[in-house]
């Protein structure tokens, strides 16, 4: 669980406040259903008492709601959802206690792609990728997905050769439908990742070559395990069917050649894994939506490890994290020149500690700085 999400800021403390905050601040823009359910849960002392029987880090709204969805809860009025919980409470508890929020958002590849391609071009060699906090490792396949970057007037497509013709196509106005034919050699059809752009985004002409990919996670999810994939689908907000569709396509791509995923703490595992990367490739260590799970000490240790790797190995470090990681314990900001308001609800993408873009948390937007 992200360290910061323990108490809803400004709305009191405790589980009811947590659900109220989730239902009134976090959910409304993405899921009217979750917003409605969470607000009702906050007003339901009997249910709150049951949730409070779980360990503190298991009480978070998204975990409980995803557990219910995993078990089949459909979008419905709260009364029906409450009846579902009553009928399935023991199973909901079982899922909550055995699973964690590990959303693997493949859309984030769109916001990483320009940086990855830029690194490969500057280094003049292919990439070796390590993702820390990789979940199922779906972001380790940026070279296998298709992209549509839309600056409001022009749509630029970049994709694997063999999918939809040339590697890069620029289309003005309404984009034509993405071709639905399979890749040459009957490879699965890749997800198409749409991303709104602003500013001078260095869009690549082609996808970078990736010769090695590996991830680290406390609990790696194997894409070949159907329960794991069902859990990843349940973690997506109910109304966001487009995210489930692209997740399924990404899973099909990853299943062809499942990535090497090391189980363990990123601080413990990273040095040894980095030593396994091929020396003739440009090593990139990246992460999205992970640092919030670490204590301030864990983040400081990670920064030191990364600074060491960038010096000793010439490794590149891409950090794509939310505002809470930017604000430090003492209240100071990692990027003092950045207006906190501009970041609110967004992620900051940094390359070797230098801010390069403000990104949508699910990869839906990329504003180059
Ligand atoms: C919200 S998910 C993000 C997954 C992926 N980075 C993405 O963008 O789709 C965060 C992941 O970080 C992992 N994680 C949290 N703390 C970790 C740690 N100390 N070491 C390794 N993995 C960790 C969790 O298990 C989870 O799978």
pLDDT in tens, 210-261: 999 999 999 999 999 999 999 999 999 999 999 999 999 999 999 999 999 9
Is residue 217 within 6 Å of ligand 1 at its C-beta? Answer: yes
Task: Give the pLDDT confidence score for residue 230 in this predicted structure.
Answer: 98
Of 4, 60, 135, 261, the one to substitute when testing ligand 1's pocket (max ligand atoms within 8 A of C-beta) is 135
Question: Could you tell me the residue ranges of all domains in the chain?
Answer: 3-98, 106-368
d(CA 22, CA 33) in angstroms, rounded, equals: 12
Cβ-contact 326, 296 below 8 angstroms: no
Determine the Cα angle at 243 with ends 242 and 249, to 5°.
95
Task: Give the pLDDT confidence score for residue 4 in this predicted structure.
Answer: 37
Cβ-contact 209, 120 below 8 angstroms: yes
Residue with tokens 């600074």: 307
Ligand 1: distance of its center to the CA of 105 in Å?
A: 11
Please tell me whether residue 195 adopts helix, strand or coil conformation.
strand
Ligand 1: distance of its center to the CA of 40 in Å?
A: 30
Ligand 1: distance of its center to the CA of 201 in Å?
A: 27
Task: Give the pLDDT confidence score for residue 337 in this predicted structure.
Answer: 56
Task: Give the pLDDT confidence score for residue 332 in this predicted structure.
Answer: 53
Cβ-contact 365, 197 below 8 angstroms: yes
Task: Give the pLDDT confidence score for residue 179 in this predicted structure.
Answer: 44
Is residue 288 within 6 Å of ligand 1 at its C-beta? Answer: yes
Residue nearest to atom 9 of ligand 1 (CA): 104
Give residues with Cβ within 8 angstroms of 230, minimum separation 6: 70
d(CA 195, CA 187) in angstroms, rounded, equals: 24
Q: Is the dihedral of CA 190, 192, 197, 203 positive or negative?
A: positive
Q: What are phi and psi of 290, to 5 degrees?
A: -125, -40
Count of CB atoms within 10 A of residue 97's CB?
12
Q: Bin 306: left if φ > 0, else alpha if -120 < ψ < 50, else beta.
A: alpha
Ligand 1: distance of its center to the CA of 363 in Å?
A: 16
Is residue 358 within 6 Å of ligand 1 at its C-beta? Answer: no
CA dihedral of residues 349, 229, 242, 359 (deg, nearest 10): 0
Residues of the chain with pLDDT under 70: 1-13, 162-167, 173-185, 324-339
Task: Give the pLDDT confidence score for residue 325 in this predicted structure.
Answer: 59
Parallel/antiparallel/unpaired status of strands 260-263 and 210-217: parallel
**Sheet with 282-288, edge to edge strand ranges:** 168-172, 154-158, 146-150, 192-198, 365-368, 354-359, 347-351, 316-322, 282-288, 127-132, 210-217, 260-263
Task: Give the pLDDT confidence score for residue 171 in this predicted structure.
Answer: 75
């Amino acid at each position: 669980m992200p360290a910061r999400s323990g108490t809803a800021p400004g709305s009191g403390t405790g589980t009811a406040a947590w659900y109220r905050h989730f239902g009134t601040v976090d959910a409304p823009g993405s899921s009217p259903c979750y917003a409605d359910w969470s607000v009702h849960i906050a007003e339901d002392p009997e249910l709150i008492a049951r949730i409070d029987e779980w360990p503190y880090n298991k009480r978070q709204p998204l975990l409980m709601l995803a557990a219910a969805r995993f078990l089949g809860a459909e979008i419905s009025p709260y009364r029906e959802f409450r009846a579902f919980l009553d009928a399935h409470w023991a199973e909901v508890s079982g899922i909550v206690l055995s699973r964690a929020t590990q959303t693997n958002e493949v859309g984030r590849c769109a916001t990483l792609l320009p940086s990855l391609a830029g690194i490969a071009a500057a280094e003049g060699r292919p990439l070796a990728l390590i993702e820390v906090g990789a979940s199922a490792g779906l972001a380790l396949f940026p070279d296998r997905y298709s992209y549509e970057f839309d600056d409001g007037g022009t749509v630029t497509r970049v994709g694997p050769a063999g999918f939809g013709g040339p590697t890069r196509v620029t289309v003005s106005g309404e984009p034509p439908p993405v071709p639905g034919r399979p890749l040459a050699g009957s490879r699965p059809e890749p997800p198409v990742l749409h991303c709104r752009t602003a500013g001078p985004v260095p869009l690549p002409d082609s996808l970078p070559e990736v010769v090695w990919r590996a991830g680290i996670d406390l609990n790696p999810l194997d894409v070949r395990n159907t329960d794991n994939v069902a859990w990843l689908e349940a973690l997506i907000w109910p109304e966001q069917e487009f995210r489930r569709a692209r997740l399924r396509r990404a899973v099909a791509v990853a299943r062809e050649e499942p990535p090497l995923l090391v189980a363990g703490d990123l601080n413990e595992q990273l040095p040894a894994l980095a030593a396994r990367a091929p020396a003739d490739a440009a090593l990139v260590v990246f992460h999205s939506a992970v640092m919030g799970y670490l204590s301030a000490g864990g983040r400081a240790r990670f920064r030191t490890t990364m600074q060491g790797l960038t010096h000793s190995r010439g490794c590149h470090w891409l950090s794509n994290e939310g505002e809470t990681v930017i604000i430090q314990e003492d209240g100071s900001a990692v990027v003092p020149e950045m207006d906190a308001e501009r970041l609110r609800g967004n992620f900051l993408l940094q390359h070797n500690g230098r801010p390069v873009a403000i990104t949508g948390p699910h990869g839906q937007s990329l504003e180059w700085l």
